[in-house]
Amino acid sequence: MGFWKKLLVTVGIASLSASAPAAIKLAEQAAFAANQAVETAKKVDGTVLDYSPNSLKDIDKIVLGIRRGGTSPDEVKGILFILGAYVGEVIIRNIEGSQWSQPKEVQAAGLTAMGVSTNDGIFWNPIGKVHKLLINGEEDSVVHFYNVIKDKNR
């Protein structure tokens, strides 16, 4: 079975795993989901995601491969979620002062959304960025996304 077929087979596992119990704090939920991305990538084709900025090239490769297969975002919601959480964890682990957060507007509306806030006060949406990468292609590279955030936080 090819890489992308194996990846899609794991969607059921990943989407179940990505929805951690509500009692877990936001940062723990994000770390849990990112770990699911690490485990899934390893199981599917041996890809090692090590939380380094360089590993984001693998995220671009995975998502662009799914895109080439003509898969819609709705078909791989769980995979996109865990890959986006992984991107967020890379940001948090490598850009000082970054943390998982929710926009105040979202909290006020009683909704749940997660993203990363940086020292400059900007809220970034790595999960949304992974969705955009699938929809728009290379122009929404998560490698570029990370570099923009890093440059703004020097």
Q: Which tens digit of pLDDT belongs to each residue from 47-74?
A: 999 999 999 999 999 999 999 999 999 9
Model-wide pTM > 0.85 = no
Helices marked H in the chain: 3-18, 26-45, 56-68, 77-94, 104-108, 126-136, 142-152
153 touches 97 (CB < 8 A):
yes
User: Of the ranges 107-111, 135-139, 141-145, which one carries the lowest mean pLDDT score?
Assistant: 107-111
What is the CA angle 103-86-98, rounded to 5?
45
Class of domain 3-152: mainly alpha
pLDDT tens digit string along 77-87? 999 999 999 99
pLDDT band at 114 (very low <50, low <70, confident <90, very high): confident
Query: Are 127 and 18 in contact, with CB atoms under 8 Å apart?
Result: no
